[in-house]
A and B are shown apart, each in its own frame.
Chain A
Amino acid sequence: MDPKTGETLAKLLTAAWLLPLLGFAVEIFAGYLWSRRSKAAAYLAVGCIVGAFLCSASALYLYRQLPTIPVVHHEASHQHGKAGHDETKPVHGEGTVVAKEEEHHTDPAPRMHSFSGTHYVLAKFSNLKISIDWYIDSLTIVMFAMVTLIASCIHVFAMGYMSEELTEEYEDHQVHTSHGHFSRPGRFYKFFAFLSLFCFSMLGLVLAGNIFLVFVFWELVGVCSYFLIGFYIERKSASTAANKAFIMNRVGDFGFLIGLMIIWTSFGTFQFATRTEADGQKQLGLFDMVRGADGKLDLQDEPGKKAVLLTDDHDHPLLAADGTRRSIPYILLIGAGLGVFAGCVGKSAQFPLQTWLPDAMEGPTPVSALVHSATMVAAGVYLAGRFYPMFVPEVQLVIAYVGAITLFVAATIAIVATDIKRVLAYSTISQLGYMMLAIGLGGWAAGLFHLITHAFFKSLMFLCSGSVIYGCHHVQEMPQMGGLRKKMPITAYTMLIGVIAICGLAIPGVDVFFGGVAAKLGLPASFQNVMSEKWAFSGYHSKDAIVATAMTYAQLNPLHALLFILPLAGAGITAFYMFRLWFYTFAGKPRDQHVYDHAHESPWLMTAPLILLAAFAAFCACGGEKGFLFTMLLGSEPAHVADGLAAGATSKLALPSHHQIHDNHATAGFYALVVAAVGTFTAYLFYGARQFKLNPSEVQSRFPWLYTFLAEKWRFDDLYDVMFVKPVHIVARWCAATDRLVFDGILHGACRIGIVVSHWDRLFDENIVDGLVNWVSNVTYGAGSSFRYLQTGRLRQYVMFIVVGVVLVGGFGLFWLMLRIRPS
């Protein structure tokens, strides 16, 4: 293979990464450069992100041209590890290629190359280097293509959606001041500036080659979401939601930091992949240190001192300075894994930090689409996937349970939510739960597969809901909608595609039929593979993969059967609430005639992205597990996933292998399909059908406690209020009281003493010191005043004085002389 490809890929992706930053740097000053009515900032932002997409797409194309890594012996494969600018010269750090081994016996999926390198070294602390690294494998490239494509659509959509901001005087109808509505200059350019910054941060996060850099962009993503959620900052709800999102994320990030510290102290490096530096020194990556080439942990299982022995990239043991083998205590590895996962929990809105995401719907709808469906929340899942080799089975179990609980809780809340965006928000949380579950269960590719497909159909649905909100003049409550499909057909039917995709509906039997046809026609094998897959949209394939993983897992570990039941039930609930949303909004009769009469289809600028995204939502997973997307992802799967984890290897858990999952695929797919169909049908009975109508409000009144429980979001907000907010308030009040009574008291006492002392000081100064000076001056003045009368101004008098003086002096002188003379 051509070693230059790695560098070309890095250049392309770096360009895609930095373009939005360039856009941001210009747009943020757009308020000074252009008028508030100018769309220049939007054009620039769209240009940058589309440019980024083109770069990513060419990177994807280039990457596909690379041959997959053949089945090789371990030693041989590492010959690939040497590459540089010149083949005869020693290796340079940039563009170093690390090949991954293939597990040859079970997995037919070919492994793909990964590349890594350094752009710039920021700082060096003895062994630890903080640098801007890049790491590119198929996951990076797929994420880049997905993020830039969706972001491009959203940017274009936002040009239409945010056009109300193109004014000098934007009146915010939701903010009331003492003199009517609040009005401010439009912030069109600012919106696009933040969108650009957001894309930059997200792409940087995906491209980052070390966990520390991931953390940096992780925080940038958080800040951008803070800006965007709080875009209507004058609204109390928006500013609160922005704060909540940021603070909840901080809770998770705290865990992330702890994980980073453990990694730093235990490994001394943050790097993902092993690399040869510019000075010829080999810098071992985290993954190679923890896992052998076959992906196994090298355990030292002494009672009470369980530890993982570290190896280098050739599976040779690493030695410490004293000659013993370097190892990391197992408990620390669990801690690092859980810490990093805590960050993912915050960012991906998993239980128990899920409450910020629904509130974050206060941002403009394009933000919801970008930040809260496709990219930011995806960052958590992405990191869980990227960091997968560091997760030991115990951590994975935690991840799986967190995912399962999240998906179930969020799905149930979505049933009763009435705000169209909130339904989608809960659905997002629920689907993120599926992804985490899959990663926890060892279905690495399944989870990330769902991440990509979900990104497409969820951003599609968010944009559709944005289109509905725009068309209905900022009505978001579904009970006021209904029958809108006649008014806005494009929105309605693209939304339907999204809904079908997320529900994972498929037409049974078609696969057999078309597969048969393809076989008879003698089409190429790859084509046959595609044809013989289920006739379904993307969501079916990805969710099917997850359910199949869960089912296999439950079979292997019957104790954790809940991890299969919850996602299966979740699939049914998902179908129910998504179709409820669609029927509520687009089908039936108009519930609010006023809203209906004024509703209109959005302009083409907004519907065109919908159609594009709908196409991707429908067909991006085409071919299912044999299709393009899944095999791409599978190429970067960590080495140990394929053959699963035999029971008792590192713990009592057994992770399913590809082979086992494949055996369950048909059954699991059938179950999921049945459950989804039941959910859909129930939704139809409740909200869609004209006859046999079940009345939702009747059910609601039958189980009032359940309804309130769900409508109040399982009371998580109340719980956190009681558990954290109230105690913090109480402690704060105590602190304030201590401050006021004790510290202020001391200060005030000191002040009072100071005042008294200075009072006495003043008296002394005024009376003694000043008195003395004044007395001297008074005496002088008095003397002067008295003597002035001598100066009569009469010349003749002066003469008389002189004469008298002379006579007196002469007389006295004479007298004195006479006294002196007499004795002689």
Chain B
Amino acid sequence: MDTVGLENFLIVGGILFVCGVVCMAIKRNAIGVLMGVELVLNGANLNFVAFSRYTKLGLDGQVLALFVIVLAAAEAAIALAIALNFYNNHLTIDVDRADELQG
């Protein structure tokens, strides 16, 4: 175990991503789903940053990671507003109850 290589980062990013996806798929709580989304985004961020460090990508990966962070902030603001409105209307934040647009 001498140095931490690119593979380690990718493994951690993959674990983070899978955790986020599983969290999105199994959580009925809307806040929980949002957390899963954060995990997925951060998993991806980790990949960008890692590729930026270990390949010839240069600063491009880090700039993209910054974009993703900004995007995640915006997404969180909108998603929380949706969750709040949903709660105002249904007195719950269970995403399974939000099925009015089903076919």
Which A residues fall within an 8 A CB radius of B?
787-796, 799-800, 803
Contacts and interface: CB of A to CB of B under 8 A. Distances in A.
24 contacts: A788-B103, A789-B103, A791-B101, A791-B103, A792-B102, A792-B103, A793-B98, A793-B99, A793-B100, A793-B101, A793-B102, A794-B99, A794-B102, A795-B33, A795-B96, A795-B98, A796-B25, A796-B26, A796-B28, A796-B33, A799-B24, A799-B33, A800-B25, A803-B25
B95 A795 contact: yes
B21 interface: yes
B101 A796 contact: no
Contacts of A789: 103
A799 B21 contact: yes
B17 to A, nearest CB: 10
Interface in B55-103: 95-96, 98-103
Nearest to A785: B103
B56 to A, nearest CB: 22
B95 A790 contact: no
Contacts of B100: 793
Given A791-B103, A796-B96, A799-B21, 20 more contacts: A787-B103, A788-B103, A790-B103, A791-B101, A793-B98, A793-B100, A793-B101, A793-B102, A794-B95, A794-B96, A794-B99, A794-B102, A795-B95, A795-B98, A796-B25, A796-B26, A796-B28, A796-B33, A796-B95, A799-B24
A800 B96 CA distance: 13
Contacts of A794: 95-96, 99, 102
B59 to A, nearest CB: 28
B57 to A, nearest CB: 21
A482 B100 CA distance: 110
Interface of B: 21, 24-28, 33, 95-96, 98-103
Of B25, B26, B33, B99, most A-chain CB atoms within 10 Å: B25
Nearest to A795: B95
A401 B102 CA distance: 112
B71 to A, nearest CB: 18
Instruction: Identify whether the interface residues of A are mostly helix, strand, loop, or mixed.
Output: helix
Contacts of A793: 98-103
A694 to B, nearest CB: 120
Contacts of A803: 21, 25
A793 B99 CA distance: 4
Nearest to A797: B25
A789 B102 CA distance: 8
Contacts of A796: 24-28, 33, 95-96
A722 B27 CA distance: 113
A803 B24 CA distance: 10
A63 B101 CA distance: 111
A510 B100 CA distance: 132
Of A789, A790, A793, A794, most B-chain CB atoms within 10 Å: A793
Contacts of A790: 103
A789 B103 CA distance: 5
Contacts of A795: 33, 95-96, 98
Contacts of A800: 25
A791 B102 contact: yes
Contacts of B95: 794-796
B82 to A, nearest CB: 11
A544 to B, nearest CB: 121
A793 to B, nearest CB: 3
Nearest to B28: A796
A794 B30 CA distance: 12
B95 to A, nearest CB: 4
Contacts of B103: 787-793
Nearest to B98: A795
B90 to A, nearest CB: 13
Enumerate the 7 nearest inter-chain pairs by beta-carbon distance, A residue then B residue, closest first: A793-B102, A788-B103, A793-B99, A791-B103, A795-B95, A799-B24, A799-B25
B86 to A, nearest CB: 11
A454 B27 CA distance: 128
A799 B26 CA distance: 9
Contacts of B21: 799, 803
A788 B26 CA distance: 24
Contacts of A799: 21, 24-25, 33
A811 to B, nearest CB: 15
A793 B102 CA distance: 4
Nearest to A787: B103
A792 B25 contact: no
Contacts of A792: 99, 102-103
A96 B38 CA distance: 122
A799 B39 CA distance: 14
Nearest to B30: A795
Contacts of B26: 796
Nearest to A803: B21
A791 B95 CA distance: 15
Nearest to B99: A793
A793 B96 CA distance: 8
A802 B82 CA distance: 21
Contacts of B27: 796
A136 to B, nearest CB: 104
A799 B24 CA distance: 7
Nearest to A796: B25
Nearest to A791: B103
Of A791, A799, A800, most B-chain CB atoms within 10 Å: A799
B16 to A, nearest CB: 15
A796 B96 CA distance: 8
